[in-house]
Amino acid sequence: IRSVKPQLAIGVSRSGGRAELIIGPVGAVEARAEAHVLIGPGDVEAGRLVAEVIRALEAKVGKLELPKEELERAKSLVPYGRGRLLKA
């Protein structure tokens, strides 16, 4: 367990013109997402962190039209409500 890195991946997948965030272990998200970023422990509040993540994903795949519920779900899944962007 000592070699396990505390990381979470957030990626985006599009189907039928609709974008969806995929949040989970790095390997699982890499397999399903068009693009992804990594987050880890840090001091950035979840709302700001999710905004940073969305900007980073939009830089990779273009404008994302995500419903507010999708953003709230992403915020709720940030461990301890805080983190930082590790890899954009």
What is the spatial distance between Cα 76 and Cα 67, in angstroms, rounded to a whole number? 15
What's the chain's Rg over C-alpha atoms? Answer: 12
pTM for the whole structure: 0.90
Domain definitions of the chain by residue range: 8-82
Please give the pLDDT value at position 52.
Answer: 97
Q: What is the pLDDT along the chain (88 residues), one digit of tens a residue?
A: 677 778 999 999 998 888 999 999 999 999 999 999 999 999 999 999 999 999 999 999 999 999 999 999 999 999 999 999 998 8
Name the packing angle between helices 46-61 and 68-76 (round to 10°): 120
